[in-house]
């Protein structure tokens, strides 16, 4: 028959092993989440950079259009205006691709939440005095 000390020793060792296993599992979850957040941060940074490039190109397009109109020329005939317009369209396509990438990744990663608690209906009790 085991003594009290031996039983306590086994319980402590078992608890220690379980605690270590929980810490290791928690560390792997944290590491995975950090990787996910890092990837999301990079994606948002790329989106911001594209938005800034689009804004710069639109400013250039507006300035160039103003100059052409100021000279009483047709903007449709100016090659630089068309080139800037094409650049903007390409940048917008890249931005939409990044934005769409977020929607598909989050939809694929989400898992349904299990609910263990059973729902019970509440009954009204009339108390008469």
Q: How confident is the prediction along the chain (129 residues), in pLDDT tens digits per residue?
A: 567 777 888 888 888 888 888 888 888 888 889 999 999 999 999 999 999 999 999 999 999 999 999 988 888 888 999 999 999 999 999 999 998 876 655 545 555 555 554 555 555 555 554
HSE, side-chain direction, 13 A CA sphere, residue 109: 9
Q: Quote the tokens at residue 54.
A: 């689009």
pLDDT of residue 129: 47
d(CA 13, CA 19) in angstroms, rounded, equals 10
Question: Domain coordinates of the chain in residue numbers?
Answer: 43-107
Task: At 76, list the tokens.
Answer: 């449709």
pLDDT score for 11: 83
| Token digits of residue 129 | 């005095």
């Amino acid at each position: 028959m085991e003594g009290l000390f031996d039983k306590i020793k086994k319980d402590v060792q078992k608890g220690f092993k379980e605690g270590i296993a929980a810490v290791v599992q928690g560390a792997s979850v944290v590491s995975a989440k950090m990787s996910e957040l890092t990837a999301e941060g990079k994606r948002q940074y790329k989106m911001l950079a594209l938005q800034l490039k689009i804004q710069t190109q639109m400013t250039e397009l507006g300035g160039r259009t103003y100059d052409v109109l100021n000279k009483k020329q047709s903007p449709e005939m100016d090659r630089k205006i068309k080139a800037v317009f094409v650049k903007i369209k390409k940048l917008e396509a890249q931005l939409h691709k990044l934005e769409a990438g977020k929607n598909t990744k989050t939809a694929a990663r989400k898992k349904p939440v299990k609910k263990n608690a059973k729902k019970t209906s509440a009954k009204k009790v009339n108390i008469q005095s």
